[in-house]
Structure 1
Amino acid sequence: MGETIKNRRQFSIHIFIWAILYSVILFLLYSEGKEITLKICLRIAFGAVIFYTNYSLLVPHLLLKKKKILYLLSIIILLIVAYLIISNVFHFDFYKNQNLLDKRPSKFIIIIFFNAVIIIIGIVIRVYEQWIENDKIKTKIEIQKNKTELEALKNQLNPHFLFNSLNSIYSLTVKKSNDAPEAVIMLSELMRYMLYKTNDSKVLLKDEIQYIENYIKLQRIRIAKNENVKTNIKGIITSQKISPLLFISYIENAFKYGTDFKGNTEVEITISIADSELHFKCSNNIGNKAKDKESSGIGMQNTKNRLELLYPNKHWLTTVEKDNKFWVDLKLKLD
């Protein structure tokens, strides 16, 4: 449908341009006192035949396919054929004043020159249109590639999140905690959000923050000594939107490795919103649990890749491991 509309638009533009050109040439001939005959009209129209032979056939099938020598030979043949047809079939006097016969360029030069101009114009227009078309195709391929990469990253993230959450609930069931049923309900809410709301490229910021708060509640249920688990949401949240699941990997990592050998967990999460800018900070103590570089790295590298695709030149990310703490500092421009 889109291609049909484009072709119709292009056809209309060509008709409009030829109508104007045709009218101008006829007006100039009339103003010089020439009689507008059928032969003259056909001669002018023959220019369009030359143009479209080159524009629609020779350029796309030879020049744009790198068959330059064959194209050049075809153009020479086209010019010769055009000269023979114009000089024998559509012949008319180029000069009203025959006394200037000795000073005028030859008929051959005039015919070749004007047809060469028509051919050059056809080359320029067709090559430019092809460049525009190639640029559009390249953009579409890039967009599709980004969508595919984002979908793959998201598909990696969901199982990663689920496995970590199930491990948290498993630890509660092992301890026979009364909080296990509530944790299962909390997990179902989290999964509902991930399955049904994150299919869109953007979600409401308030929904994403609610999701984060629910996840932190789930972790509080799991952790016995959670008094040092702190969250702080600052700023006015209205209708801002954000790409979903950008922070969860850092928060997961904080809870996974933020417990020391005494079982104390220290995690601090701050989200500040100021107009169209969001500032996310997350810190945790580096506990005694051996770090699984493969599993912990997947989520954070996943998030880094998504940020580069979704917020190019619109985010600033810093991760630092210092003084037995791991810090994440992320700023990004919201839509």
Structure 2
Amino acid sequence: MLKGLKEYFKIKGKNKFQITVRHHVIFWVIYFLFTTFKWAIYYNDFRYAFESTLLGFSIHMTLTYFNIYYLMPKFVYTRKYIIYALAVLASLFVMLLVKFNLTYYLLSTNVWPEGPETTELTLNYAIQTMLGELYVITFVTAIKVTIDWLKEHKRLIDLEKLQLETELRFLRSQVSPHFFFNTLNNIYSLTIEKSDRAPKTILKLSELMRYLLYETKQKRQSLKKEIICLQNYLDLERIRYGNLLTINLNISGDIEGKKIAPMLLLAFIENAFKHGANKNVGEIEIKIDFNIVENFLYFRVSNPIPTKINHNVLNDKQGGIGIGNVKKRLELGYNKEDYKLEINDNDVEYVVDLKIKV
């Protein structure tokens, strides 16, 4: 399971929000060209603008990467905000001294050509220069934080989607083990009796198991295939209960091209046998109706409430798929307006009515 998650996120990590070296290069080249031409127009001196921008460019990059890859992970992500603010101010002050000296000794003794002419480190020059550097740091940091947020947001969405898919697969897998246990016991009895029904029973069980293993992985399954699966299930139950069981199955409407969540309806039918046929002494009748009207399936299954309870049957507390399981699957797999589930339990019968989009 963990290996699967790692592989999943290894693939998902290669997304459009990934920052590569190419993106860094493109950003700084654009920034460098924009700044150079801006000051070239201001100074009316392209060479000086190029040299001053190149000098400031190295300081911008150093401060920016120092902030987003060292200061923020070390202090912001650990909620040490005061220390972070002091570290940024200290970095800006060190940058100020470096820029002043490099400009003074390499470019011009007038360290502030765009402001009042000065050859000294004045307070006004210091404030304006530090604010300019802070602007660059803030701008680049905002881009980094935004992209990180988008990556994290996508990761959480992918994780939520994976969890939902995993939960749905788990819920679909919970067919009652007692059903298979009882069916195998029936097959054993038939083989002891050398009954001609044994091969047919094995075939039905094989078809049902093949469907459950290989045909229920997708989000939606053909309603036609789903009904065939249910018919195989009902055939096995008929073999189990013999003449004591009567099943009235009615299908109306066009089932071609209709799709439904796999094994969803099986839960209600299995529940009818669990609480109806399995606990009842004597003859039992289970009614199942499929009625397709336009894009909706109207499904009903009903079983009588036992008047005489068979105390010899195994008390299956774990149940099969269970109604709670189905309600969870409906919530995860369908919008609220796409289904309506009603369950009525009176003194005579237990009735499930499901309207669902197909």
Q: Return the letter of the residue paired with 2:96.
A: Y
Pair 1:240–1:19, CA change in 2 (3 A): farther
The answer for the alignment partner of 2:351 in structure 1 is 327
Matches within 5 A, 1:148-227: 148-157=166-175, 159-166=177-184, 179-225=197-243
Q: Shift in Å at residue 212 of structure 1?
A: 0.9
Q: Distance in 2 between matches of 1:105 and 1:234?
A: 88
The answer to whether the Cα contact below 8 Å between 2:100 and 2:111 also exists between their aligned partners in 1 is no
Q: Distance in 1 between matches of 2:115 and 2:249?
A: 94
The answer for the alignment partner of 1:255 in structure 2 is 273
The answer for the alignment partner of 2:7 in structure 1 is none
Matched, 1:39 2:51: yes
Matched, 1:16 2:26: yes
The answer for the alignment partner of 2:288 in structure 1 is 269
Q: Distance in 2 between matches of 1:138 and 1:283?
A: 42
Secondary structure, aligned partner of 2:174: helix
Matched, 1:124 2:139: no
Deviates more, 1:320-329 or 1:167-176: 167-176
The answer for the alignment partner of 1:71 in structure 2 is 84
State the percentage of identical aligned residues. 32
Matches within 5 A, 1:49-64: 49-64=62-77
Q: Shift in Å at residue 187 of structure 1?
A: 1.6
Secondary structure, aligned partner of 1:165: helix
Q: Distance in 1 between matches of 2:79 and 2:183?
A: 58
Q: Shift in Å at residue 71 of structure 1?
A: 1.7
**What whole-Å deviation, never above 9, does each CA across 1:139-191 have from its counterpart, x for those lacking one?**
33333333443344344326344235346656767998654442232122211
The answer to whether the Cα contact below 8 Å between 1:254 and 1:282 also exists between their aligned partners in 2 is yes
Q: Shift in Å at residue 13 of structure 1?
A: 3.6
The answer to whether the Cα contact below 8 Å between 1:172 and 1:222 also exists between their aligned partners in 2 is no
Q: Return the letter of the residue paired with 2:43.
A: G
Matched, 1:113 2:134: no
The answer for the alignment partner of 2:96 in structure 1 is 83
Deviates more, 1:112-121 or 1:18-27: 18-27
Pair 1:285–1:168, CA change in 2 (3 A): farther
Matches within 5 A, 1:92-111: 93-95=111-113, 106-111=124-129
How many aligned residue pairs are there?
A: 332
The answer to whether the Cα contact below 8 Å between 1:54 and 1:122 also exists between their aligned partners in 2 is no
The answer to whether the Cα contact below 8 Å between 2:187 and 2:201 also exists between their aligned partners in 1 is yes
Unaligned runs of 5+ in 2: 1-9, 105-109
Q: Distance in 2 between matches of 1:299 and 1:185?
A: 26
Secondary structure, aligned partner of 1:289: coil
Q: Return the letter of the residue paired with 1:324.
A: V
The answer for the alignment partner of 2:154 in structure 1 is 136
Secondary structure, aligned partner of 1:156: coil
Q: Distance in 2 between matches of 1:265 and 1:148?
A: 37
The answer to whether the Cα contact below 8 Å between 2:244 and 2:282 also exists between their aligned partners in 1 is no
The answer for the alignment partner of 1:305 in structure 2 is 328
Secondary structure, aligned partner of 1:66: coil
Q: Distance in 2 between matches of 1:57 and 1:99?
A: 36
The answer for the alignment partner of 1:289 in structure 2 is 309
Pair 1:123–1:199, CA change in 2 (3 A): same
Pair 1:112–1:128, CA change in 2 (3 A): same
Q: Shift in Å at residue 97 of structure 1?
A: 7.6
The answer to whether the Cα contact below 8 Å between 1:171 and 1:222 also exists between their aligned partners in 2 is no
Q: Shift in Å at residue 329 of structure 1?
A: 1.8
Q: Return the letter of the residue paired with 2:157.
A: T
Pair 1:135–1:160, CA change in 2 (3 A): farther
**What whole-Å deviation, never above 9, does each CA across 1:53-87 have from its counterpart, x for those lacking one?**
21222223321232323322221111111111111
Q: Distance in 2 between matches of 1:320 and 1:306?
A: 20
Pair 1:126–1:300, CA change in 2 (3 A): same
Q: Shift in Å at residue 215 of structure 1?
A: 1.7
Q: Distance in 2 between matches of 1:190 and 1:8?
A: 45
Pair 1:16–1:79, CA change in 2 (3 A): same
Q: Distance in 2 between matches of 1:170 and 1:223?
A: 15
Pair 1:111–1:100, CA change in 2 (3 A): closer
Q: Shift in Å at residue 307 of structure 1?
A: 2.7
TM-score normalized by structure 2?
Answer: 0.77
Q: Distance in 1 between matches of 2:136 and 2:172?
A: 54
Q: Shift in Å at residue 25 of structure 1?
A: 2.1
Secondary structure, aligned partner of 2:252: strand
The answer to whether the Cα contact below 8 Å between 1:280 and 1:331 also exists between their aligned partners in 2 is yes
Cα-Cα RMSD = 3.5
